[in-house]
């Protein structure tokens, strides 16, 4: 079952995903992870209409192989979190200064129409965030947590 989970995560986040998909490997006790997840869940999923986010809790032993696979794919020597994979681009750690670089990684394969829609969404959010979020409440469904398989 562990191999199946690793294969599914690998396909979803490492090379098999659209450029606009994000996988974030995190620890629930990591403050940088919290800030990264907050930015993704309060901004990016609303800016980019088709964005899908997969969250992977690395403190769960069943998720560790997927995390190791991501570290290897990204060329990281150490296992610090968060590790954020966006298409073929990897980020380790999180700081507010990374926001534009993350947006650029999302936009790599987007059409001009998709980029324009994202820019318009960002402006609408700046004008009235609460109204925009309420009107697009379904975007919360863009985030899925990998649930490790239950052991028998």
The first and second tokens of residue 84, run together, are 């954020």
- Tens digits of residue pLDDT in 28-41: 999 999 999 999 99
User: Could you give the CA distance from residue 16 to residue 69 in angstroms, rounded to a whole number?
Assistant: 14
Element (H, E) at 130: helix 129-135
- Residue 139: pLDDT band (50, 70, 90) is very high
CB 23 within 8 A of CB 84: yes
- Tens digits of residue pLDDT in 61-82: 999 999 999 999 999 988 899 9
Q: How far is CA 75 from CA 9, 30, 69, 93, in A?
A: 17, 22, 10, 14
Fold of 2-145: Glutaredoxin (3.40.30)
- Residue 149: pLDDT band (50, 70, 90) is low
Cβ-count burial of 144 within 10 angstroms (0-12 exposed, 13-18 middle, 19+ buried)?
exposed
Domains in the chain: boundaries: 2-145
Identify the pLDDT of residue 78. 86
Q: Using alpha carbons, select from 18, 17, 3, 31 the residue that is nearest to residue 96.
A: 31
């Amino acid at each position: 079952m562990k191999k199946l989970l690793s294969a599914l995560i690998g396909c979803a986040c490492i090379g098999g995903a659209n450029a606009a998909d994000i996988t974030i490997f995190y620890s629930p006790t990591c403050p940088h992870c919290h800030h990264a997840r907050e930015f993704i869940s309060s901004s990016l999923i609303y800016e980019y209409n088709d964005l899908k986010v997969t969250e992977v809790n690395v403190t769960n032993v069943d998720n560790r192989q997927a995390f190791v696979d991501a570290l290897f794919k990204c060329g990281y020597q150490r296992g610090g979190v968060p590790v954020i994979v966006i298409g073929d681009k990897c980020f380790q750690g999180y700081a507010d200064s990374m926001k534009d670089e993350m947006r650029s990684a999302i936009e790599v394969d987007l059409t001009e129409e998709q980029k324009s829609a994202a820019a318009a969404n960002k402006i609408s959010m700046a004008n009235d965030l609460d109204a925009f979020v309420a009107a697009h409440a379904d975007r919360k469904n863009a985030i899925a947590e990998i649930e490790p398989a239950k052991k028998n």
